[in-house]
Structure 1
Amino acid sequence: MELRHLKHFVTLAEYKSYSLAASELNISQPSLTRSIQRLESLLEAKLMERNSRFVKLTYFGNIVLKHSEKILSSVSDLEAEVKLPRDDSFNDIVLGGGNLVASHVYDSILVEFTRKYPNFNVELCYRYVEELYGLMLKGELDVFLAETRITQLDKMPDIDIIPYCESKGVFCCRPGHPLLKEKYLFTPRLKDYQIALPRGTPVEITSAFDDLFDTEREYFSGLVRFEEIHTIKHSLYNSDMICLLPDVIVKQELEAGRLVLLNINNMPQIDVAYGIVTMKGKPIKPAVKKFIEFVQTTAEHNS
């Protein structure tokens, strides 16, 4: 068994298509097919099921994928540790971030960071948490910033988390919204208005509001799912849409009075924690250490 077999297998599992995976690997599709067949032959197990549209992992395929990712990550760490003292990419940083928080936080941090360290080369990658974790396992990310409590990243044994900030879930709306006139506001009243909600919000959160987010309920008023807050700001400012999200995301809008909080009597408590995530035991480049230290200093200053 060779490392290239594992790399080919992991890439195919990611793209779920022989043609797409072969293109990503820069090899021919027949070569990829032979590589996967060779791996199956060596392991004496069928790893992929294929139909006309896509490929799907078998039970054994999922087992092999889990171990392959760890093996490739370990090899990447080995190469990085050996090359680190003489690597020309000392100043390269590949930063990942959750779609909602990263654009908000990085917008403010990177201006000062790149001003302080103008020779650092920064690459940004916004994804969902599961994707970020997978990219980090493959050694394609140096560090990423994401929610760590609700996503249960804080329970993962192979990562280290440096706390960045705490937040809480809130409903916000434009000044002058009709709901602001109500002295006693409860969540059922929110059903009369269109609601914006971050994509990927766990069911554990939406279910805390009974059927508020149930699109099948009678007289449903509409739901807008978004990845970045700036995509719905205009709607929030100019309509009766309301939005559920962590208060840290709209801190500036609240302070400027462009948005206001809804005081809901039976609002469920939603505790949110953001942190900087790195792989446990993986060597960290000097530039990445500088970035982590800078973010920590910024967080302490803002707290």
Structure 2
Amino acid sequence: MDFRQLTYFVTLAETRNFTRAAERLHIAQPALSIAIKKLEHQLDLELVHRNERKVALTHEGEVLLEHAKLILQQVNDANIAMAELKGLEKGEVRLGLPSMLGSYYFPEILMGFKSRYPNLKLTIVEAGTQSIRRMLISGELDLGIIQNADVPDSLETEHLLRSQMVAVVSPEHPFARHKSIAFDAFFQQELVMFKAGYFHREFIDEVCHQYQLSPNIAFETNLLPMILKIVRNDFAITALLEMVTQHEPGLVPIPFAEPVFLDISIAWRKNGYLSVADRAFMEFVKQHGH
């Protein structure tokens, strides 16, 4: 078994099709078929079920896939580490950001970092905290901004900030003059919410579960500008980080009667390799926070 065989196998598992896998690998399809058969022969195991339309992994193939991804990621980490010993940098930070923090907390940080390190590339992926966790574990991201709750054991975290989650209504809404709002009153209103997987929605689901409440969700979207417009036009209310209301006019923030604070952290793979660029970004973020 060699790294090339594992690369072929992982690509086939991802595409579930010999033709598409061969195209992605830039090799002939017969060569891919021969390589997979050779791998099966070496292991004395059947790894894939073959038919004309789709390739499905056997149980043995699923087990190998999990290990193969980790091995290839470690090889990639090793190549980066060796390159940096020769004075080279990876030159890229792949960062996962939730929508609210990406819009209101990080723009100045990202521009400041790019100004200080003009030769480094920033690749920003906007996603929910659950997706960011998965992409960190799989090696698709180097760093991610997540809620510091129920963090998988395979991730390391460092606290970044603490922010209050508040109810948000239009100035015309009856709640606009309230100094605080109870959870049961909030969830009786028509709500506009992020879809499942975002820390904003995790907060909502957790409160509903804890207090046995049912949210009245009228709109569901991952588009923050749409959420803001719906609230401004008094079609629904929502809950957002307080920092959003500090930058957006036409919104009234109302603390919950039982205040809610979210701890936000920067996360990375516990056994992953952080490049010079990744470490420089983490230090820059910490300095900005202070």
Under TM normalisation by the shorter chain, which class is it? 0.7 to 0.9
Bigger shift: residues 72-81 or 168-177: 168-177
Taking a change above 3 Å as real, the CA distance of residues 82 and 222 of structure 1, as seen in their structure-2 partners, is same
- In the aligned structure 1, how far is the partner of 2:196 from the partner of 2:65? 27
Q: TM-score, normalised by structure 1?
A: 0.75
Q: Given the superposition, is the C-alpha separation of residues 87 and 254 from structure 1 closer, same or farther in structure 2, using an over 3 Å criterion?
A: same
Verify the 8 A CA contact 1:69 1:137 in the aligned structure 2: no
Distance change (3 Å), C-alpha of 1:15 and 1:276:
farther
Q: Is the 1:48–1:56 contact (alpha carbons within 8 Å) kept by the matching residues of 2?
A: yes
Residue type at the aligned position of 2:95: G
State whether residues 109 and 285 of structure 2, in contact with CA within 8 Å, keep that contact through their aligned partners in structure 1: yes
- The aligned residue for residue 69 of structure 1 is 69
Matches within 5 A, 1:105-116: 105-116=105-116
Asked if 1:212 corresponds to 2:214, the answer is yes
1:220-235 alignment to 2 at 5 Å?
222-226=218-222, 228-235=223-230
Say which is worse superposed, 176-185 or 3-12, in terms of deviation.
176-185
The question of 1:197 aligning with 2:194 is answered yes
Q: Provide closer, same or farther for how the CA distance between residues 165 and 243 of structure 1 changes in structure 2, counting only shifts above 3 A.
A: same
Please give the per-residue CA displacement for 1:235-264, whole angstroms capped at 9, x wherever unaligned. Answer: 22223322234x1xx514246553223454
Provide the secondary structure at the position in 1 that maps to 2:106.
helix
For residue 243 of structure 2, the aligned residue among 248, 251, 264 is 251
Structure 1 equivalent of residue 153 of structure 2:
156
Residue matched to 2:166: 170
Q: Tell me the distance in 2 between the aligned counterparts of 1:177 and 1:129.
A: 30
| Structure 2, unpaired ranges of 5+ | none
Say which SS state the counterpart of residue 230 (structure 1) adopts: helix
Indicate conservation of the 8 Å contact 2:132/2:144, yes or no: no
Once the two structures are TM-superposed, the CA of residue 293 in structure 1 deviates from its matched residue by 0.9
Distance 1:186 1:286, change over 3 A: closer
Aligned in 2, Cα 1:118/1:80: closer, same or farther, shift over 3 Å?
closer
**Aligned residue pairs: how many?**
283
The aligned residue for residue 278 of structure 1 is 268
Structure 1, unaligned stretches of length 5 or more?
214-219
For 2:260 and 2:62, locate their aligned partners in 1 and report how far apart those are by CA, in whole Å.
33
Deviations 1:270-291 (A, max 9, x none): 5533222233455543333221
SS at the partner of 1:45? coil
Change in Cα spacing, 1:259 to 1:84, as seen in structure 2 (3 Å) is: same
Aligned position for 1:217: none
Contact 2:99 2:127 in 1 (8 A): no
Alignment of 1:14-93 (within 5 A): 14-49=14-49, 54-86=54-86, 88=88, 90=89, 92-93=91-92
Match of 2:235 in 1: 240
Are 2:245 and 2:253, in contact at CA under 8 Å, matched by a contact in 1?
Answer: no
Find the aligned partners of 2:13 and 2:265 in 1 and give their Cα distance. 29
Whole-angstrom distance in 2 between the partners of 1:106 and 1:189: 29
Q: Identify if the C-alpha distance between structure 1 residues 264 and 162 changes in structure 2 by more than 3 Å, giving closer, same or farther.
A: closer
**Residue 297 of structure 1, CA deviation:** 0.9
Q: C-alpha root-mean-square deviation of aligned residues, in Å?
A: 3.4
Matching residue's letter, 1:212: S
